[in-house]
Structure 1
């Protein structure tokens, strides 16, 4: 691929990434991943003898073979294909490509995996452990609010860490911009609202209206890795299940609501899922709960 061709392709990629950020409101970690995915495709494209920016079957198959040969996980390949498909549609909509058929651009089939959720008692213990740490009070208050938002409101970690003072004008509801720019209104439990107020009041740094409220020791927004390390330390100290991570609190939020009889479509809205099938994958009910529902609702259940 000639240098000027590579530069033109990279320019279109940058335009697409900016569109995802400014218009679709994708999270920064998703945009970073998509940037790497398209850079990988560009690397494969640069090794072709004839260059066509518009994806074709030959280059696509070569790219897939290269990824499978390198031992890439199916989840990685599926994400990269999704990124290329999204980029191609963007190029078509903006007149960079003419009419395009992407029906042949297939992602590898992924096994259905049910997310793990910790128990109610383990979720409560995880939050309770924060008050026992020897950390500064404001850090314990901050981390308590973070975990409460994930378990009490079902927020993703990135959504939690993006909360600003402007989000908190009404502590009864949070307006969240989630994946793909999807906006949802999430009710806030009193215990979560109290934790948020406490965290804000004890924070030693001046908070700005449009900047995240959760700060690190250095006064900059705390990152997801710091929260992951915090939960890992708590998990080890309390001998909690190995799958205990910040995201399992979101799973627990959905699973515990569903197990208590919550409506699946309402839970879908709270989680911010576009598809009900996604919610069904993220939540699961134990076998006894399924048996109880079957016995209570089937018209022949009480017949002899």
Structure 2
């Protein structure tokens, strides 16, 4: 019995201990950047242009870096810290946790230098501690969100978008209120910067309420189908705040609703009716530039006055989540 117990403990120790020993490689890649323009960094015996992703060895020793700038060379030392796998995952062994830590404490793979290192030339302290690495990451986020896009007065961009998710609230004639969430659509337009921080946007959009992200063939088991679609033209003035843009403007829309009833597993249509009307209202686009000219955003389009409808003043809306890309043509 004791021999079996010892065997079980050995197996459990093998499976549950030394997480950093098993999960971590001897080397890993760290992102190194600096606020010095046109700078390079020497790591071991190699030189890399910054920013760069550099492969370094895990060790309990300090990582020595040499920042090479246009005016001077600066030497830095980065202190290692314990890898989160060593700190937290080893606890999964519960009663064997002390053994887990004992095994990993003999292995340099329990260390790392964080995922990102920022070399700040304005900082007179050249030894980078964990607190300074965290500060560098925070500064990196601040720089990312505070980045001013390179836009100039007179720039002209083509905007191509994919309204991927669309929420409809329409009121077809004699049908009451119809609320549906669907997918797919397309947007094309032009963005003209009349100042460095503002641009006029003229766009043509067509959206649908497909149930799937990719349109598929008709399901023969469905007996009732009520597709919604909308085509609209919008003109908005947009304000650029670093990576964010917020706009306001007017929109003219053509909303279409269809009712189709057929026999199950038959393509014989038993009943159909269509409703369509035009409407005028507002458009409020909000976008965030993720990188380069790729954006994600939301477009809110409320309308208040309808044409071709017995009720002239009524509220309808379309809310779309959009992926878009802009490229400069002038």
TM over 0.5: no
State the TM bucket, normalised to the shorter chain: under 0.3
- Quick check: which one's helix share is greater? 1
TM-score (norm 1): 0.22
Greater relative contact order (CA < 8 Å, ≥ 6 in sequence):
1
- Quick check: which one's strand share is greater? 2
Q: Which has the larger radius of gyration?
A: 2
